[in-house]
Amino acid sequence: MTRHFARPVGITATGQYYPERRVTNDDLSMVMATNDEWIRTRTGIGSRHWVEKGQGASDLGVPALQMALDQRGMMADELEVIIVATVTPDTFFPATACRIQDAVGAKNAFGFDLSAACSGFLYALTSGAALVASGAYSKVAVVGVDVMSSIMNMEDRATGVLFGDGAGAVILEPVEEGLGIIDFEHRIDGSGGCILHMPAGGSRKPASHETVDAKEHFIHQSGSEVFKFAVREMAEGSRAMLDRNGFLPADLKLFVPHQANLRIMDAAAKRLELPNDRMVVNIDRYANTTAATIPTALHQAKGEGRMEKGDLVLLSAFGAGLTWGTILLRWAY
């Protein structure tokens, strides 16, 4: 069974923003027991960008969305919806979507935040596209943004080297027949929640001196468990998506996987029997930016002339929840 929208919806512009401060593996080796060689060979990461103290998710999301609006030649007040995928919002409430709406001047929009960790951008893309396909809306912004440095335990070298901060944004609009999102599949499995989570700070365990002392406001991860789940779901989900639409891996112009570990991405590409030059990689420069990995990778691939109107593109992500998903589309411009 395939899933498709009654009306074609596609991405019509992209934007991105990374904070200025670039942190190399060598920089990290000064503050924790790690080294460039371990990080590069085990993860593919060479550097990442981190915010300065006081900067929040909206500070990254606003310039990314503004870039997408400028690229499309669209005024902010034309936007009808802003969906922000993030697990590191400026505050629990108001939603980061509200801050971004106010800062860009999208005075005719409604919006909300969506929490699905590294799968967040794909969930938000499908949700936004469904609003356009319904006929009720025609100009929707989807922002994937995370400030992972705000929830990283710098005393834990197993997670402290993995993440970066960044934002990507896209505009979704009706597109001509044959372009845009072709098919999508999303899943959650809450039984795996404990292998990647932030234990405290929510209603179940509100912030207290004890939770701070126990470092429960940071990412807790069983790396090898997440690794196995990621390789399996990314490879099988991608393959199944192509199969059920009658495509071969060779038909793909680009494979845009979530950027969590180059070894996970390579394993998925290998199982797809995909030539290496078809996969978009930015983890080497930006690390894992959670909800921002896929929209920034799309922005960069388009900017480098790696995809044209009509090209077949496969997006695949996995993350905390557990969450995962795949979207197949034909690039619309």
Give the separation between CA 71 and CA 147, rounded to whole angstroms: 24
Rounded CA-CA distance 118/88 in Å is: 11
In sign, the C-alpha dihedral spanning 290, 294, 295, 298 is positive
260 binds ligand UT7 (CB under 6 A): yes
Please indicate whether residue 98 is annotated as part of the active site: no
Rounded CA gap, 333 and 328, in Å?
16
- Residue pair 179/10 in contact (Cβ under 8 Å)? The answer is yes
Q: What is the CA radius of gyration of the chain?
A: 19
Give me the amino acid identity at 236: E
Distance, CA of 279 to CA of 297 (rounded, Å)? 10
* Candidates 25, 49, 98, 258; catalytic one: 258
Candidate residues 110, 112, 227, 247; the one interacting with ligand UT7 per rule CB under 6 A: 227
User: Of residues 50-109, which lie at the interface with ligand UT7 (CB under 6 A)?
Assistant: none
Q: Which of 25, 261, 282, 288 is catalytic?
A: 288
Structure tokens, 220: 């807790």
Residue from 7, 21, 157, 239 binding ligand UT7 (CB under 6 A): 157
Cβ-proximal residues to 72 (8 Å cutoff; 6+ apart), any chain: 12, 13, 171
Least Å distance between CB 18 and ligand UT7?
Answer: 17
261 binds ligand UT7, rule: CB under 6 A:
yes
Catalytic residue among 25, 49, 98, 118: 118
Residue 194: active-site member: no
Residue whose CB is less far from ligand UT7, 2 or 41: 41
Interface stretch with ligand UT7, choices 59-67, 140-148, 259-267, 308-316 (CB under 6 A)? 259-267
Residue among 78 and 266 whose Cβ is closer to ligand UT7: 266
Scanning 200-208, 234-242, 256-264, 266-274 for contacts with ligand UT7 by CB under 6 A, the matching segment is 256-264
The 3-class SS string of 11-29 reads: EEEEEEECCCCEEEHHHHH
Site residues (vs ligand UT7, CB under 6 A) = 34, 38-39, 42-43, 118, 157-158, 161, 196, 223-224, 226-227, 230, 260-261, 264, 288, 319
Report the catalytic residues: 118, 258, 288
